[in-house]
Amino acid sequence: MNLNQVTLPATDIERSVAFYRRMGFKQIVGSPDYARFECPAGESTFSLHRVAGTVPDTQVVLYFETPTMDADVQRLLAAGFEFTQLPRDERWLWREARLNDPDGHVLCLFWAGEARKNPPWKLKD
């Protein structure tokens, strides 16, 4: 199996579409109640569907991997995006920055290199 996509609830599709397009995602499907995006690299997609209200603090985090994470964060800061965490090295060997989308969903831009799938504590087969 391969993860195809993740769908996020959005209270205002137009506002969320504008946010994700400004981030650099390509919108591939659109309707008044639904939008779907391709990531700039790889085969992953994600979508938004209109809801009346979102559940606060679900503790779900969407991770977007980018080898140019620091430059991407600088580009987004220059475009007016606000980050809740600027790039920093984490103890699990990933470099991460975080921001929230218009409905409060936590987005993490990260780069982990080899540690993404092969950290020193990886389980043996």
pLDDT in tens, 32-86: 999 999 999 888 999 999 999 877 778 889 999 999 999 999 999 999 999 999 9
| pLDDT mean across residues, the chain | 94
The whole-number average pLDDT for the span 105-121 is: 95
Domain locations along the chain: 5-116
The whole-number average pLDDT for the span 17-38 is: 97
Instruction: Give the contacts of 120 (CB within 8 A, at least 6 positions apart).
Output: 93
pLDDT (0 to 100) of residue 51: 95
Under CATH, which architecture does the 5-116 domain have?
Roll (3.10)
pLDDT (0 to 100) of residue 63: 96
Name the nearest CA neighbour of 7 among 64, 60, 53, 48.
48
